[in-house]
Chain A
Amino acid sequence: MSKLEQALQKADAQRGGNAKVQGNEPAVQGSSAIENKESGKGIQIAEPNLRTAKEMDKLRIVCAQSLNAALLNEFRELRTSVLSRVSSRNVVIMVTGIAPNSGASFVAMNLAASIALNENRTSIIVECDLMAPSFSHLLPKDYQNGLTEYLQADDLTLQSVIYPIGVERVRLIPAGKARHAMEYFTSEKLRQLLSEIQNRYTERTVIIDAPSVVSSADARILTSICDYALLVVPYGEANEEVVAEAARAIGKEKFLGVVFNRVPE
């Protein structure tokens, strides 16, 4: 754990996790954000209802105070590997599994959380697995719109679909309520959305939680939109052919690497 992170934890503890709700996402034009870009100090975005370590543990999200230190370290290593391999600071990374239920959402969430452990970095998860959305439990009860609603309607602001999830510097765009929305992924609006959220902060990583690249056409479309793709291979559940097929579907250019998931201790 870096000193920076330790300091951050300390500050967090002092705040008692009771930061005031000041809006979901500060505007790009917001002074504090500009200030941030220039000053290089920690990003100061509003963080409503930060979750405690216990809660995070329950939600299977790593945090600096995580009870599961080994897993935290593994995700840190993953974060370091990923960031050392990408070309720019602001990238769109797709996380896909070789099959449904490979743990791609888990990896996506924890990658986002571990990237955001650095207070200079923020991350946003775009939930694109419309068939099996897995982050609804993180959203407020009164949540209305998600990605599909935004892409469908013209009157929704981007801000209205970005939700804080109680993890510092991590935001989420949920899938929305509509299913079967493949055609939306081909729309220009999604590209605009991605580029907008990508460039809102200087060091922001956009993480797409995509369905399985082998079984879903959505994932293939998303492959063309993202900058890089991570392939999640669960321990003891895939054979060589399936992994090779998934790697082929992603293509060599965008293939960032494999995350071997659910390795027993």
Chain B
Amino acid sequence: METSLFSQIKITLENASRLRWLVLVVFAICSFLSLFVGMHFPKVYKSSVTVFVEEQNILGPLMEGAAVQTEVAIDRARIAKEIIYGRTFIGEILDKGGWHDEEMSEEEKDKLVEKTKQNITIENFKSNLIKVEYQGMNPDEVFQTTQLLAETFITESLKQKIRESRSAFEFIESQSNKYRLKLQSSEEKLNQFFDKNADVSPDSEQSIIQRVSELRTNLGQGQQQLREAEIRRDSLKKQLTGEAEESNQLTRAGGYRARISELEAQLDTLRLSYHDTHPDIVQLNRQIEDLRIVVAEEEKRSRLEKKQIGSSAAVVVDEKLLVNPVYQLLRQNYYESNTQITTLQSRLAQIQSMIDQELARSKLVHKLSSDLIELRRDYDANKGIYQDLLRRREIARVSMNLDEEQKGLTMRIDEPAFFPHKPAGPGLIVFILVGWVLGLLLPIGVLFLKVKLQNRIYDPLFLSQQMGLPVLAAVGYMETMTERRRKAASTFGFFTLTLLVISAVIAVAIMHVQGLLSL
């Protein structure tokens, strides 16, 4: 059956009004029960302390770069929890507070630690305030514990800071020592290298190249000279051969021609004084003619000889030739060239060997210089790191000193622990109110559920519209006068009793608070 929530509530309230006495009974029971519970609710006392963590103190900006302040991290509550919830910390608190009984077994101690842990709450607000709260049944104990918590927390935090910066310093120092050794070893290596390869310097390679190029130029020049000398020698050789032939020919025909010339000279002289018909002159002419014929024959013969002997035939050096001055000169030159060629050849071979040497040396230098570069690199890297570490070590030292002298102190108690006079937690009034609300909601809720679940017909329209039954009339309940009067009296009684219940609850509560009543 579909009924709107509104009408369901309305029907529920109607039912509640009909069953008001039952509702009142439930209300009264709930109120008194709740009051009773409130009166016997364990009293919990709470005290808290607020620790202020300074974001930055005056030393901060001054020491910036030179010292690193150990930060108390961003999530300070987490750090605080880590410290406070630590077993040792709580154990320390319990020892200091004297709550560790000597007769306690380890198990009991564990339990006590766990219990204490549960009673501590840590909050972090405004990012630099840490609130540590402690709760317990005994106000004295709560106050003392809270104080102890704050003090121990601060000293513990500072100790931790010191530990942290000291360990940082120690670490950096150990690292710098390591690097100093490394640096020393690479220095040694470098020295050894230089000792071994004294002549190897970065510019030796350059000089080798220069020398090689000089040698190459010399080599080139030498080769050129050699070629020239060879050409000269060859041409001298040729000339020597040619001169021999020429001399052979010249020897006979020349003789004849010389004779001819002499005769012609005589002829000319005679002609100055005589006619051509002078016998001397005629004779002379005949002689000249004969000689000419002889010359011609000689030439002819030599040509024939040449043909017969051929060009390959060795020059037949005539004895006469040896006395030929040109030949002599040529031969001298020829021998000189030969000597020059030999000299040049030996020089070139020397130059070539020098070049080879230089090149071999260049290879060696190249290899050594790459070794040197590596050594230098190692050395430079180690040196850089070492210097950096040294700087950092000094920074760490200052930081450590700061922390040790507590100049970098960044924590103080902002709000000290207070003595809890009043128990925390819900007061009696809350219990009373809860009882009243529960006393009302419980029966009404049950009635509401009943209306919802029983699905009864409350609306005549349902009969006519959903079930199709004609509804002729919807009649009310006819109250008689007596009933009306009785109802009025009952209503009055109901309200009076309700008031009575409420005032009784309040009265009991007040008496309890004043200590006049303890149930």
Contacts and interface: CB of A to CB of B under 8 A. Distances in A.
B293 interface: no
Kindly name the residue among B15, B466, B467 whose own CB sees the greatest number of chain A CB atoms within 10 A.
Answer: B467
Contact of B457 (A57, A70, A243): A243
A54 B482 CA distance: 11
B481 A58 contact: yes
A264 interface: yes
A259 interface: yes
B222 to A, nearest CB: 134
Given A110-B475, A240-B1, 10 more contacts: A54-B481, A62-B478, A68-B479, A71-B475, A74-B476, A231-B469, A235-B457, A260-B471, A260-B475, A262-B475
A76 to B, nearest CB: 9
Interface string B472-497: 11111111111000000000000000
Contacts of B273: none
A134 to B, nearest CB: 14
B472 A81 contact: yes
Contact of B472 (A60, A62, A237, A257): A257
Nearest to A107: B475
B455 to A, nearest CB: 5
B449 to A, nearest CB: 15
B478 A60 contact: yes
B13 to A, nearest CB: 10
A58 B485 CA distance: 12
Interface residues of A, number: 43
Given A237-B456, A239-B455, A240-B457, A257 B475 contact: no
Interface in A202-252: 230-231, 233, 235-240, 243-244, 247
Kindly name the residue among B464, B470, B478, B482 whose own CB sees the greatest number of chain A CB atoms within 10 A.
Answer: B478
Contact of A257 (B15, B457, B469): B469
Contacts of B14: 264
A256 interface: yes
Contacts of A233: 457, 463
In terms of DSSP, what is the predominant structure of the interface of chain B? mixed
Kindly name the residue among B14, B476, B480 whose own CB sees the greatest number of chain A CB atoms within 10 A.
Answer: B476
B469 A71 contact: no
Contacts of B346: none
A65 B348 CA distance: 162
A236 B11 contact: yes
A263 B475 contact: yes
Given A68-B478, A263-B474, A239 B457 contact: yes
Contacts of B41: none
Contact of A75 (B15, B454, B458, B475): B475
Contacts of A62: 478
B250 to A, nearest CB: 167
A75 B480 contact: no
B220 interface: no
B255 interface: no
B217 to A, nearest CB: 127
B460 interface: yes
Contacts of A237: 456
Contact of A264 (B463, B476, B481, B482): B476
Interface string B432-463: 00000000000000000000001111101011
A58 B480 contact: yes
A144 to B, nearest CB: 29
B476 A265 contact: yes
A68 B478 CA distance: 8
Contacts of B462: 240
B125 to A, nearest CB: 56
Kindly name the residue among A230, A231, A247, A263 whose own CB sees the greatest number of chain B CB atoms within 10 A.
Answer: A263
Contacts of B463: 233, 243, 258, 260
A258 B472 contact: yes
Nearest to B475: A74
